[in-house]
Amino acid sequence: MPLQKLRNIGIAAHIDAGKTTTTERILYFTGVNRKLGEVHDGEATTDFMKQEQERGITIASAAISCQWKGYPINLIDTPGHVDFTVEVERSLRVLDGMIAVFCAVGGVEPQSETVWNQANRYKVPRIAFVNKMDRPGADFDDVVLHMNKYLDANAVPFQFPIGIEDTFEGMIDLVEMKAYNFNERDTIEVPIPSELKAKAEEARRYLIEKLADFDEEIFEKFVEEQPVPVELIKKAARHATLHMLMTPVFCGSAYKNKGIHQLLDAVIDYLPSPLDIGAVVGYDVEDESKTHSRNPSTKDPFAALAFKIIYDPYVGQQTFVRIFSGKLTTGMQVQNTTKDKPERIGRIMRIHAKMREDVTEAGPGDIVALVGLKYTKTGDTLCDPAHPILLESIHIPPPVIDLKVTPAKRGDRQKMGEALHKLASEDPSFTMRFDEETEETIISGMGELHLEIILDRLKDEFGVDVVVGEPSVAFRETITRESEAAYKHVKQTGGKGQYAHVVLRIEPNEGKGYEFVDRIKGGVIPAEFVPSVDKGIRQTLEKGVLAGFPVVDVRVILLDGSYHPVDSSDFAFQTCASIAFKQAFEKAAPILKEPVMKIEINSPDDYIGNVVSDLNKRRGRIESMRRHRKGSQKINGFVPLMEMFGYATQLRNISSGRANYSMEFYQYMPLPSGMQEEVIKKIREKNQEKN
């Protein structure tokens, strides 16, 4: 199959815009499915997890292969709920193109903006599909207007709807100037309705005018008022889409099977093949200032990126990879350059949601699942050992909410630990740690729904019942000024003692995480013990000094010290460094930082006063208010997560159930000093109760 025919695309949008239904129709019309699966019946092909079927939402991105008119398509359906935004992030990192689905009633929703910005980050060309044109309140023109206003999309209609709401029956293709109606399964070409002819001509003229900005030939024909051939329009539109200069907009109703054929044609006509995307650029393993490129060709050395891990009860761990160059065959030895470990390829599989097909080889542009990898995690690079390269990894947002969990049966502690480790391997936005002092396991995630799904999976997939504590905010600790500490660790207990001495300085390192600098001169601390100092500090960072939260954004400079030829050891220097760091930390004006969320609230005009007043009480900061639909407004702002527990119920109460909201992590910000004392006091009281 020629590589220029392959399409790697994702479907992404706000929750409830109809992504999964659109995917189901694509699978049906491309012949992958014999019958239509519905989200509301829990029968969607890509929603194969029990939790997805029960809730009618997509949680894990699912990869499926299909064909349309001789073009192979790898399709990934991604979640719309903000708690699973990392699923979208890792899918977009490996895709070449995207269909952005918008609800014709809801328009540009909060998560639409998040997904759009993620696609911008990875420079993914996209087309838009305005779905649910048959719903009351549908407004195609309004959605296009908002795409341009809020997403800066340069959205241009390539279709024009025939009818709206319950009279929606088809659309006019503005490129070919043909009209289509639909019965249950088929597309029927019909004459353009006479009452819409003038409007369609005007819309086509607008499309050509927009393309004239990017194509000289069209510009000349437009100025001279000559007819523009269909092939020239498609060629110019493809160029504009691939270079992200324009977003072609299509419309339909996925649930009623309207517009899917035309959407698939648009994927072929306007979205890129791996050849259009061209070479992928990566870093030199030894020197990150140098780069290497890999072309989408079997002649270039093998390079691939692992973007997802799934534990399958039948085949074990499946690692999903996107191959950018070279050829992968079963039994081949590859190098994981992220972990600096060799890996051997066991099985290679093409995935059709739950179904899998074994293949013996895969090449550039392919998205496949590998079985038998030991070390590879999300974001790792796999490559030819003779030609190492490090590809750009995947941006993982920090978890912001904690839950304490203990197994309901005491004997299940090990089983729970193993299950949580597997879930953390699958989902890099979920973390877990064990608190030795309180003997509690703390799990952290992106939101309440995220952790709720994790707990459901613990029970359903691993058979572990757990007792859950109250959700709490994942604070961070940091410092606001420099300080120094010198500590000598001396212990003499019959036989070999312990001796270590370090002098270190700590400094704020805003936004750069933890950094360790070795300034030891003259071997006052032997080279083999310097990593021990670093290790001792790293262990202390996990459970901070102020209130036991992880320490972030600190630079530690090792200045001086001494050692004993007999009593000094790795353990002694780890212990010494940990105590010295704690002493320096306490003198460096430490503070707590809290997660602040970006929030968007849709509310009818009647309740705006109540919503704003309630948000102010929660230390919220309103950034903008804008008209959303007739009689309703959107409020955008920022609010600390610790003020938002139980907000869904409160918002329902103050708006008679008519307002809704969405929030996502924005950044960590300093906690006001008065509140900091309160938080620390409560934590200390809780710890005393346990002891």
Tokens of 460: 């359903």
Give the largest Cα separation in the chain, rounded. Answer: 102
DSSP string of 246-273, one letter each residue: -EEEEE-BTTTTBSHHHHHHHHHHHSPP
Instruction: Flag the least confident range among 219-228, 401-410, 519-528.
Output: 401-410
What is the pLDDT, as a whole number, of residue 541?
93
Of residues 688 and 278, the one with the higher pLDDT is 278
Q: Summarize pLDDT for 399-432 with one digit per residue, the tens.
A: 778 888 888 887 888 888 888 988 887 777 888 8
What is the pLDDT, as a whole number, of residue 80?
43
Q: Summarize pLDDT for 624-642 with one digit per residue, the tens.
A: 888 766 678 889 899 998 8
Query: Mean pLDDT over residues 368-378, rounded?
Result: 87
Q: What is the 3-state secondary structure (H, E, C) of 323-377?
A: EEECCEECCCEEEECCCCEEEECCEEEEEECCEEEEECEECCCCEEEEECCCCCC
What is the pLDDT, as a whole number, of residue 249?
97
What is the pLDDT, as a whole number, of residue 60?
38
How far apart CA 269 and CA 261 sit, in angstroms, is 12
How far apart CA 444 and CA 209 sit, in angstroms, is 51
Instruction: Flag the least confident range among 107-111, 164-168, 187-191, 236-240.
Output: 107-111
How far apart CA 107 and CA 544 sit, in angstroms, is 44
Place of tokens 């009689």: 631
What is the pLDDT, as a whole number, of residue 53?
37
**Predicted confidence band at 86 (pLDDT cuts at 50, 70, 90)?**
low
Output the CA torsion sign for 636, 637, 638, 639. Answer: negative
Of residues 575 and 442, the one with the higher pLDDT is 575
Query: Mean pLDDT over residues 333-358, rounded?
Result: 84
Name the DSSP letter for residue 664.
E
Mean per-residue pLDDT over the chain, rounded: 85
Instruction: Flag the least confident range among 35-39, 51-55, 176-180, 263-267.
Output: 51-55
Place of tokens 């952290």: 444
Place of tokens 């009281």: 685
Query: Mean pLDDT over residues 366-381, rounded?
Result: 87
**Predicted confidence band at 576 (pLDDT cuts at 50, 70, 90)?**
very high
Q: Summarize pLDDT for 90-147 with one digit per residue, the tens.
A: 677 788 999 999 999 888 876 677 788 888 888 899 999 999 999 998 999 999 998 9
Query: Mean pLDDT over residues 242-265, rounded?
Result: 93
Of the ranges 430-439, 452-461, 526-535, the best mean pLDDT one: 526-535
Instruction: Calculate the CA dihedral of residues 405, 407, 413, 419 and round it to 10 degrees.
Output: -70
Of residues 382 and 663, the one with the higher pLDDT is 382
What is the pLDDT, as a whole number, of residue 398?
76
Answer whether residue 437 shows pLDDT above 70: no
Strand locations in 353-414, DSSP E?
Answer: 355-359, 361-362, 367-371, 381-383, 390-391, 401-407
What is the pLDDT, as a whole number, of residue 327?
93
Task: Go through the chain and tell me how many residues it has.
Answer: 691
Residues 6+ away with beta carbon under 8 Å from 670: 591, 592, 593, 594
Q: Summarize pLDDT for 464-522 with one digit per residue, the tens.
A: 888 888 778 889 999 999 999 999 999 876 667 899 999 999 999 998 889 999 998 88
How far apart CA 307 and CA 274 sit, in angstroms, is 17
Q: Specify whether the CB–CB gap between 576 and 567 falls below 8 A.
A: no
Residues 6+ away with beta carbon under 8 Å from 411: none
Q: Summarize pLDDT for 295-320 with one digit per residue, the tens.
A: 999 999 999 998 887 777 677 778 88
